[in-house]
Structure 1
Amino acid sequence: MQTSLEEDILEDILAIQKDGDTPTLEKIASRLSLPVETILPALERCRDSGLISSNSPSLWTLTKEGRKTAEVIARRHAVLACFLTEKLGLEAEAASREACLLEHDISEETIDALDSFMQSPDRQCRGHGRRHCAHYSESAPLINFSEGETLIVTFVRCPGRHRRLIDLGVIEGEPIIIRRKLHNEAVVISVKGCDIALSPEIASEINARRRI
């Protein structure tokens, strides 16, 4: 079983390779924000376990087994980051940091359950293949839409800060109409038959997609 550092190394080598780059010792250390001398023993343990190979002291690549292991770790990260942003309202950067901490101890059964939850038709999140979760490719902040458009709320960032909006019905899956857009980018929406004025700051934290 790999340590947390070893798993992070495998995940970052995979990310570097997917970016079409060469996983050098320096690049791996830079992504982890750790000194080379700190990660070198962990790299050597991964090599001894048959998960990575090295043609030179500074160049490391995943073996077939190492890539399989790295993809499992990367999936855990993506599912957790998706859940933290989509359902709990964390910003993408904060969600990724938390996912880095959680991904090492969570069971595959729990990841499978979270993945199924996020991929259900009424909750689908399409970002599992990316380092940071992307919420619906057609989703955008309310301030990006025009007057008169009918939308479906996809998520509200940091819902704990916007409990009043949730009480008024601005929740995931709820249809809304853009009634007016003011010169300062404030937005007036209609939800459940009521008109609500939103400041630009709040409107930018509510994402929606066009109703099909």
Structure 2
Amino acid sequence: MKLGKSREDYLEAMYILKRQKGYVRNFLLCNYLNYSKASVSVAIRGLVAEGYVIKDEHGYVELTAEGKKIAKKVYARHLLLEEFLELIGVSPETANHDACRMEHTISEESYKKIQELVRKMKEENTLNEEMKLTN
């Protein structure tokens, strides 16, 4: 089932915030995503109803196993695409912005090919650095 960009962004943000802060609450999502309280509340209710998120009586939000699986996949795509863009000379700010948009639309085939290319580019860069040190 395709969640769409907005829901994927919420799940990814929750995953990142949980790693950074150790917890997630609506106000953290508002600040992180720069969305209104009302928008975040509606989105969280939807994600709870769909089984991707659990919200406890104290207002803490947790990803379910399925929500975490999707969030990790989106986040991994983001990191790889951002790294790839920076390797080809895109500024970090633009790379981050573009990766946010690309992570939702890239095909599995293209993602795998970029993954292979990044691995090769990093290996080549490592070899070049080692050669510089020995000369």
Instruction: State the TM-score, normalizing by the size of structure 2.
Output: 0.86
1:30 and 2:28 correspond:
no
User: Do the aligned residues in 2 keep the contact of 1:51 with 1:65 (CA within 8 Å)?
Assistant: yes
Unaligned runs of 5+ in 2: none
Could you tell me the percent identity over the aligned residues?
Answer: 22
1:112-151 deviation digits (Å, cap 9, x = unpaired): 111111012xx128xxxxxxxxxx8x9xxxxxxxxxxxxx
* Distance 1:2-1:25 versus aligned 2 partners, 3 A rule: same
- The number of residue pairs the alignment matches comes to 132
Which has more strand, going by share of residues? 1
User: Do the aligned residues in 2 keep the contact of 1:11 with 1:70 (CA within 8 Å)?
Assistant: yes
Unaligned runs of 5+ in 1: 126-135, 139-151, 154-172, 176-209
Residue number in structure 1 paired with 2:44: 43
Residue number in structure 2 paired with 1:102: 102
Question: What amino acid sits opposite 1:70 in the alignment?
Answer: A
Residue number in structure 2 paired with 1:211: 133
Mapped partners of 1:48, 1:37: distance in 2: 17
User: Do the aligned residues in 2 keep the contact of 1:26 with 1:58 (CA within 8 Å)?
Assistant: no
Which has more helix, going by share of residues? 2
Mapped partners of 1:24, 1:107: distance in 2: 32
Residue number in structure 1 paired with 2:92: 92
Instruction: State the TM-score, normalizing by the size of structure 1.
Output: 0.56
User: Do the aligned residues in 2 keep the contact of 1:6 with 1:43 (CA within 8 Å)?
Assistant: no
Please list every run of at least 4 consecutive aligned residues from structure 1 whose deviation after the TM superposition is greater than 2 angstroms: none
1:79-124 deviation digits (Å, cap 9, x = unpaired): 110111111x11212211111111111112211111111012xx12
Question: What amino acid sits opposite 1:124 in the alignment?
Answer: K
Mapped partners of 2:86, 2:50: distance in 1: 35
Q: What does 1:133-144 align with in structure 2 at a 5 Å threshold?
A: none
* Distance 1:13-1:44 versus aligned 2 partners, 3 A rule: same
The alpha-carbon deviation at position 211 of structure 1 amounts to 2.6
Residue number in structure 2 paired with 1:124: 122
Provide the aligned C-alpha RMSD in A.
Answer: 2.4
Mapped partners of 1:51, 1:109: distance in 2: 26
Which of the two has higher C-alpha Rg? 1
Which SS does the other structure have where 1:124 is aligned?
helix
